[in-house]
């Protein structure tokens, strides 16, 4: 037991695991309020998840595939951490190693200060994972599903928050329906609820909004933000780059089993290396454009002059001066900043 903190005893697959629940923070959504632990025994390192030199090699009848190649990842406590990459990049392999369903080939992983090799059951108890697959028993109701999961984690009946969690994810009315009668979106919300029953300090969401409608996606976003505001560290994998841009504080991009960048969202966006000026002119230019503008990469399209430049090498003022020197009068200016999609495509092409 960690010193200096009261803890509740949880049981995972028959072996004791200790999770901190000394204080409680309030998580609110549009529909409910729920008590979430205030995790006062934060790891000394300030990192919720640490991976060093993590490798995974699959061997299929003599044919090897290196899914992870010496991956280093640091997830700070209290952040929403985005794990991005194309299909087959290694994101799910990394998550499955943390979950204990895949055995790593080499390297180390620590979850909330617990090494997965030294204390595998405690490390798994420190994390809640929402998988891509809808692994729900069709003949259990949502309430029965959450009660069963809480029992597996050894949560005493008096401390279970089944109804609160169901309300939080919008399944109160469906609490006593067989899960086979739930829609795809409802089943995905039930997965999130399952991962929350033991109130872990880390929640991993593997493609949580895949295949759901816009309204449900927004509701899940609200739930994720509420969890994070209550102190839960969230790791999110997604193919929706606007989702990562809207939610994440820190982002790592994995490609071909390697981490190609890991930065704050602001640093990542600023590294895109270009901005675009869209200029409305008093008179449309004659074709072709003057050489001084074509050398800047200027194009005339949709009734405006567009010029893309590297802000580290030039500035918007310099670009405007070149346009004026070419004899054009500018009536209106708009700018376009790079988004996460630009950065992602640039790094993974």
Domain containing 195 equals 7-268
Q: Determine phi and psi for 152, rounding to 5 degrees.
A: -60, -30
Q: Which residues of 269-282 are buried (b: 16+ CB within 10 A; e: fewer)?
A: beebebbebbbebe
- Given a contact cutoff of 8 angstroms between Cβ atoms, the answer to whether 330 and 323 are in contact is yes
What is the separation of C-alpha 315 from the centre of its chain, rounded to a whole number of angstroms?
33
Residue 59 in any domain: the answer is yes
- Given a contact cutoff of 8 angstroms between Cβ atoms, the answer to whether 181 and 91 are in contact is no
Q: Are residues 328 and 233 located together in one domain of the fold?
A: no
Domains identified in the chain, total number: 2
pLDDT band at 5 (very low <50, low <70, confident <90, very high): very low
pLDDT exceeds cutoff 80 at 83: yes
**Which pairing describes strands 15-20 and 7-12: parallel, antiparallel, or unpaired?**
antiparallel
Q: Where are the alpha helices (DSSP H) in 142-283?
A: 142-152, 162-168, 184-196, 214-229, 241-247, 265-270
Q: Which of the 8 DSSP states describes residue 276?
A: E
Residues 6+ apart with CB under 8 A from 283: 328, 329
* Percent residues over pLDDT 70 in the chain: 82
Selected residue with higher pLDDT from 188 and 103? 103
Question: What gap in Å lies between CA 130 and CA 149, rounded to an integer?
Answer: 13
Q: Are residues 217 and 104 located together in one domain of the fold?
A: yes
Question: What gap in Å lies between CA 242 and CA 264, rounded to an integer?
Answer: 15
pLDDT exceeds cutoff 80 at 11: no
Selected residue with higher pLDDT from 108 and 14? 108
Q: Are residues 111 and 146 located together in one domain of the fold?
A: yes
pLDDT exceeds cutoff 50 at 345: yes
Instruction: Provide the CATH number for the domain around residue 154.
Output: 3.40.50.300
Q: Are residues 146 and 202 located together in one domain of the fold?
A: yes
pLDDT of residue 273: 60
Q: Determine phi and psi for 54, rounding to 5 degrees.
A: -75, 125
pLDDT exceeds cutoff 60 at 14: no
pLDDT of residue 91: 92
pLDDT of residue 62: 81
Residue 14 in any domain: the answer is yes
pLDDT of residue 96: 93
Selected residue with higher pLDDT from 317 and 59? 59
Q: Which of the 8 DSSP states describes residue 134?
A: -
Please write the tens of the pLDDT for every residue from 170-216. Answer: 899 999 999 999 988 888 889 989 998 988 999 999 888 877 777 77
Average pLDDT for the chain: 81
How many of the other CB atoms lie within 10 Å of CB of 159?
Answer: 13
| Domain-terminating residue out of 268, 283, 314 | 268
pLDDT of residue 131: 86
pLDDT exceeds cutoff 70 at 21: no
Residue 296 in any domain: the answer is yes
Mean per-residue pLDDT, 33-48: 70
3-state secondary structure of 187: helix
- Given a contact cutoff of 8 angstroms between Cβ atoms, the answer to whether 296 and 325 are in contact is no
Q: Are residues 72 and 135 located together in one domain of the fold?
A: yes
> What are the start-end ranges of the E strands in the chain?
7-12, 15-20, 23-28, 33-38, 47-60, 63-76, 80-84, 106-111, 114-115, 127-130, 202-206, 233-237, 250-255, 258-264, 275-281, 299-301, 304-309, 330-336
Question: What gap in Å lies between CA 259 and CA 261, rounded to an integer?
Answer: 6
Question: What gap in Å lies between CA 92 and CA 98, rounded to an integer?
Answer: 10
Residues 6+ apart with CB under 8 A from 74: 47, 49, 50, 51, 262
Helix (H) or strand (E) holding 340: helix 340-348
Most confident of 196-205, 273-282, 295-304, 307-316: 196-205
Q: Are residues 143 and 161 located together in one domain of the fold?
A: yes
Per-residue tokens: 326: 């070419």
pLDDT exceeds cutoff 60 at 22: no
pLDDT of residue 341: 67
Residue 153 in any domain: the answer is yes
Question: What gap in Å lies between CA 228 and CA 50, rounded to an integer?
Answer: 19
How many of the other CB atoms lie within 10 Å of CB of 48?
Answer: 27
pLDDT of residue 111: 96
Question: What gap in Å lies between CA 172 and CA 160, rounded to an integer?
Answer: 15
pLDDT of residue 13: 31
CA angle 177, 181, 182 (to 5 degrees): 90
pLDDT of residue 42: 84
Instruction: Provide the CATH number for the domain around residue 290.
Output: 3.30.70.100
pLDDT of residue 339: 62
pLDDT of residue 10: 30
pLDDT exceeds cutoff 50 at 16: no
Per-residue tokens: 54: 């993590």
| Domain-terminating residue out of 268, 295, 323 | 268
Residue 344 in any domain: the answer is no
pTM (2 decimals)? 0.72
Residue 347 in any domain: the answer is no
Q: Are residues 191 and 325 located together in one domain of the fold?
A: no
Mean per-residue pLDDT, 57-73: 92
Please write the tens of the pLDDT for every residue from 247-293. Answer: 999 999 999 999 998 988 888 777 666 777 788 888 888 878 888 88
Selected residue with higher pLDDT from 142 and 209? 142
Q: Are residues 246 and 310 located together in one domain of the fold?
A: no
pLDDT band at 118 (very low <50, low <70, confident <90, very high): very high
Residue 2 in any domain: the answer is no
């Amino acid at each position: 037991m960690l010193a200096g903190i009261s803890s509740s005893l949880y049981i995972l697959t028959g072996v004791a695991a200790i999770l901190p629940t000394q204080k409680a923070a309030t998580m609110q959504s549009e529909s409910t309020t729920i008590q979430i632990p205030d995790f006062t025994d934060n790891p000394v390192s300030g990192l919720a998840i640490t991976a060093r030199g993590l490798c995974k090699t699959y061997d299929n009848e003599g044919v090897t595939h290196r899914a992870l190649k010496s991956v280093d990842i640091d997830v700070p406590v209290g952040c929403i951490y985005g794990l991005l990459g194309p299909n087959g990049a290694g994101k799910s392999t990394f998550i499955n190693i943390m979950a204990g369903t895949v055995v790593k080939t080499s390297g180390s992983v620590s979850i909330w200060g617990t090494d997965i090799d030294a204390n595998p059951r405690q490390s798994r108890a420190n994390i809640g994972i929402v998988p891509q697959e809808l692994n729900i028993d069709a003949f259990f109701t949502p309430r029965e599903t959450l009660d069963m999961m809480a029992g597996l984690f050894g949560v005493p009946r008096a401390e279970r928050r089944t109804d609160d969690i169901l309300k939080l994810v919008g399944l109160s009315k469906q609490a006593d329906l067989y899960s086979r009668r739930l829609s795809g979106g409802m089943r995905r919300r039930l997965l999130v609820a399952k991962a929350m029953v033991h109130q872990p300090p880390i929640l991993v969401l593997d493609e949580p909004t895949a295949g759901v409608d816009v309204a449900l996606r927004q509701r899940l976003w609200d739930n994720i933000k509420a969890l994070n505001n209550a102190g839960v560290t969230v790791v999110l994998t997604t193919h929706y780059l606007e989702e990562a841009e809207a939610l994440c504080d820190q982002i790592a991009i994995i490609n071909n089993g390697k981490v190609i960048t890991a930065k704050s969202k602001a640093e990542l966006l600023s590294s895109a290396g270009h901005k675009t000026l869209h200029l409305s002119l008093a008179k449309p230019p004659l074709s072709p454009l003057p050489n001084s503008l074509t050398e800047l990469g200027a194009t005339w399209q949709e009734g405006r002059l567009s010029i893309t430049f590297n802000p580290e090498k030039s500035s918007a003022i310099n670009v405007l001066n070149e346009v004026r020197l070419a004899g054009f009068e500018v009536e209106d200016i708009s700018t376009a900043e790079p988004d996460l999609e630009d950065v992602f495509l640039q790094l993974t092409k």
